[in-house]
Structure 1
């Protein structure tokens, strides 16, 4: 089961919300669809679900064209929109039965499907309560249950942890990771930690265009700029700042040495290396050969936040 998008474009009047984007998501992949508010994430999700129609381009779900057979596509998709489609005056069981009927689950299998979703989504303790009485975390679980009630092969989740407290977020993220083992799953969010905690791959969209696509590691390597090595040395009475500076300046690949602080009997030093140069081993050997005590050494890496800001702030 895969989702394939080819040259997708969508406009609202004169506003171009999605601009000629293409990507593919395969079975067992959890893809984070990451972007600032208004970037085109929700519009893309609504196009995949056939809630909206595109101006141009193609969307295929399991090889089915969304424009030529939208009903068949909808049967394969479970969708949790940002605004959870719940009825507060219905209890959990009745609501899930209603959702199953809407999704054309066979009558003989509805009770079985509801029972399974109650178990999978951890709703056993609240299954007879009205939805309006539930916490935000449990309401999100009910929303996930309705999205999966017909056992879809594709799950589209739009901001699934919005408004949850830290404990609820952890629970929902674990549930998403478990679901992603068997489903094709796209998680739309503007929260970086969400992507890092749950996703195998990241697609970053900005102003309707895809600006990055890959694993977190591959994106970090691609957008890695100048490397910075931070180290902490125990002060040596025989070595002043000048010696420290010249000692590391002499290492091949080092571009700049900066003593950040020299408080509490230690030196804290930042060393900038040329792009692509790993100078950690040479720095360590230089410290040892000068009989100095190394307390800490680590390389500052480009974070997903750094990449996101770089790609979405211009």
Structure 2
């Protein structure tokens, strides 16, 4: 396993940041680590990169223990923290050369990571002159310098505009062809576009750990958006079988969630006729990752 976490717990005073967390990541996987603010994502990433020690439990990266073999772990991991620390007065190549010296690696590697991360057009500029997207590329280039087997990326797309998001997404997918990638983000579209597997943490506990495809298909529910021709009370919708929730999203439009894989549109049509209603539209909506995330993290 590239990453193995067993019964990790971490407290900050009386606050329990991580509560008996366990999971593993296979070599070559791109895993999205999701959770609301304060769920414990950054704490766990700091433990995996040896910045913090756990209160209990064990964790290994490339089979090196994060407590007893910190140097070996650091050599195995490329880490991009949420707040990308850069020296803005240094030129891109100057900054990468500084980090290459720290890792005691050949200067030839600098040009390799510049090419890999698409920094070539900006490589002769000061970091302070770069856009947010290119600064993230510098951070990724730095994390890749020592050619680690595992990349741990904490909110790598925070603050990027839509074009920059696509560029960094493609870069991470390219990195993931040869390395294990463990990343956190709040942007569900990025997870759906990049990741093979999803781990969701809430209140310091793992609440979901599934392949992305399985996570969506195994949710035996469907969401149907229906617009009636007149206002109705939520109570009459309870006549619909398998109805889990009914939400009046706006005006005459309702979002109905059913706990069944059976197509419920015909039943909604019959329900409307029986109640002297007309259906102006009936749309079957796929249950997306954002909806699943909200459900998993809103449970107490």
TM interval, short-chain normalised: 0.7 to 0.9
CA distance in 2, matches of 1:272, 1:163: 33
Q: 1:254 to 1:82 in 2, by over 3 A?
A: closer
Q: 1:76 to 1:254 in 2, by over 3 A?
A: closer
Q: 1:176 to 1:277 in 2, by over 3 A?
A: closer
2:286 matches 1:301 = yes
Please say if residues 149 and 180 of structure 2, whose CA atoms lie closer than 8 Å, have aligned partners that are also in contact. Answer: yes
Q: 1:65 to 1:282 in 2, by over 3 A?
A: same
Q: 1:27 to 1:296 in 2, by over 3 A?
A: farther
CA distance in 1, matches of 2:179, 2:223: 40
CA distance in 1, matches of 2:181, 2:194: 11
Q: Which runs of 5+ in 2 are unaligned?
A: 228-238, 271-279
CA distance in 1, matches of 2:51, 2:242: 55
2:29 aligns with: 29
State the number of aligned residues.
282
TM normalised by structure 1 equals: 0.79
CA distance in 1, matches of 2:114, 2:135: 12
1:278 aligns with: 262
Pick one of 127, 130, 133 that aligns with 1:134: 130
Structure with bigger gyration radius: 1
When the two chains are superposed, the root-mean-square deviation of aligned CA atoms in Å is: 3.3
CA distance in 2, matches of 1:84, 1:191: 18
> Which deviations, in whole Å up to 9, do the C-alpha atoms of 1:182-214 show, x marking residues without a partner?
111111112222211211111111111111111
CA distance in 1, matches of 2:216, 2:17: 27
1:66 aligns with: 66
Q: Matched residue of 1:32: which SS?
A: strand
CA distance in 2, matches of 1:270, 1:142: 44
Trace 1:233-248 onto structure 2 (pairs within 5 A): none
1:241 aligns with: none
1:13 aligns with: 13
Please say if residues 154 and 183 of structure 2, whose CA atoms lie closer than 8 Å, have aligned partners that are also in contact. Answer: yes
Q: Matched residue of 2:152: which SS?
A: strand
Q: Matched residue of 2:89: which SS?
A: coil
CA distance in 2, matches of 1:47, 1:163: 25
Pick one of 150, 166, 169 that aligns with 1:170: 166
